[in-house]
Amino acid sequence: MLEQIDHTARDIIASASWAPSWLVSVAVLATMLVLALMAHRALFRIITRLVEQRDLFWRSLVQRIEGPTRLAFVVVGLSVGASLAPFTFDEAALMRHILAICFVCLVGWVAMTTLHIWTTVYLRRFKLDSEDNLLARKHVTQSRILQRVAGIMIVIITASVVLMTFDGVRQYGVSLLASAGAAGIVFGLALQPVLRNLISGVQLAVTQPIRLDDAVIVEGEWGNVEEITATYVVVRLWDWRRMVLPLTYFIEKPFQNWTRENASLIGTVMLYVDYTAPVVDMRAKLEEIARASRLWDRQVVNMQVTDFKPDVMEVRMLISASTAPRTFDLRCEVREKMIAWLQTEHPQALPRQRAQIDRMPQNSSWADTP
């Protein structure tokens, strides 16, 4: 059947002897291109209707593969058109070269799409919005970093294969590899920052000193890791500013990660009170505040006198919460309620300045002076 259609098409093209061969070739390619696009559009209409009642994953999957499949239809259509068009030898060679480049780009695009789909399917099991999301953040961070590194490698390999299809570039590449030497050293030094970030990205994915949504302190600022790309990390600070740092920063410099093993933290509240402050009652009040708070995780609550100053004594209160933001809010709540309780119930326990005045005797010589 296909052979009969092919012979019929060739007979029709051969009968158009009145037109120039280049015009017939262009008409054949344009016709096959239009037919390929129409076939792809009709097929995707059917597929879209089949998945419109499915969940968001299937609808986004169909949308994601629309581009690569359209290019595949175009490549197949142009290949058929090139076999039917009356090309000369040079024109046929040029067309084969163009189709080879399109095919390489198609393979790279399919690889990128497959990588994205695989990552999405893998990460569907993990929920970042859960209360204990340590495992989810671990897998999401690894997957995102490795996905970006693999994407860069796919782009580099695809571009390299495309360039190697040109004789001039291929010969230049062979001569460059043969000579190596100074040119290779200069090229390596020029790409050093890029290569360092790529290697750092792999290190971060494997060792994971940071993960997405980790609470960190960098450059004296507190925030959460919002995004990890192939070259930099975005930290969302507490006041919604964004700090952008290179990947190498988290490999080479020290920083604080408050959620490295788990999200729970112990918060510290320092109070400075008078020596007459009722420590036992304050400890009982702290436990009462903790039990009444929805932020406390029922793990740690304690109070100790940790130091004496010339005018006050230092009291340290410890209280824990399930996440860093909850810990911060709980510390503020303890400060406010403890101070309010002291002001109401024990105002004498607040810091005071003391002064001692010795009264002079009444029969002193200057007292009798008029």
- pLDDT, averaged across the chain: 79
Can you tell me the distance from the alpha carbon of 298 to that of 265, in angstroms, rounded to the nearest whole number? 12
| Domains of the chain with CATH codes | 2-198 (no CATH), 209-257 (2.30.30.60), 265-349 (3.30.70.100)
Chain centroid to CA 56: how far? 22
Q: What percent of the chain has pLDDT over 90?
A: 25
The set of residues, in sequence order, having a beta carbon less than 8 Å from that of 325 and lying 6+ positions away, is 215
Q: If you search the block for the tokens 């490795």, which residue do you land on?
A: 146
Q: Token pair for residue 138? A: 């671990």
| 182, pLDDT greater than 60 | no
- Encoded tokens for 1: 């059947």
| Average pLDDT rounded to a whole number, residues 120-136 | 71
Q: What is the mean pLDDT of residues 182-192?
A: 47
CA distance 159 to 107: 11
Indicate if the pLDDT at residue 180 is higher than 50.
no
Q: Tell me what pLDDT residue 27 has.
A: 83
DSSP three-state, residue 218: strand
Alpha carbon distance 178, 176 (integer Å): 5
For residues 328 and 170, the model is more confident at: 328
Distance CA 337, CA 289 (A): 8
Tokens representing 59 are 């609808």
Q: Please tell me the predicted confidence (pLDDT) of residue 7.
A: 52
Q: Is the pLDDT of residue 293 over 90?
A: yes
Q: Tokens 């039917």 — which residue?
A: 84
d(CA 145, CA 80): 41
Element (H, E) at 315: strand 313-321
What's the half-sphere exposure (Cβ side, CA atoms, 13 Å) at 333?
A: 23
> Reduced to 3 states, what is the DSSP secondary structure of residue 237?
strand
Which uninterrupted H or E stretch holds 122? helix 89-123
pLDDT tens-digit series, residues 212-240? 888 899 998 989 998 888 788 999 998 89
Asked whether the predicted pLDDT for residue 363 surpasses 60, the reply is no
- Nearest in space to 136 (alpha carbons), one of 152, 154, 122: 122
Reported confidence tier of residue 181, pLDDT bands at 50, 70, 90? very low
pTM: predicted TM-score of the whole model, two decimal places:
0.53
Rounded distance between C-alpha atoms, residue 250 and residue 166, angstroms: 41
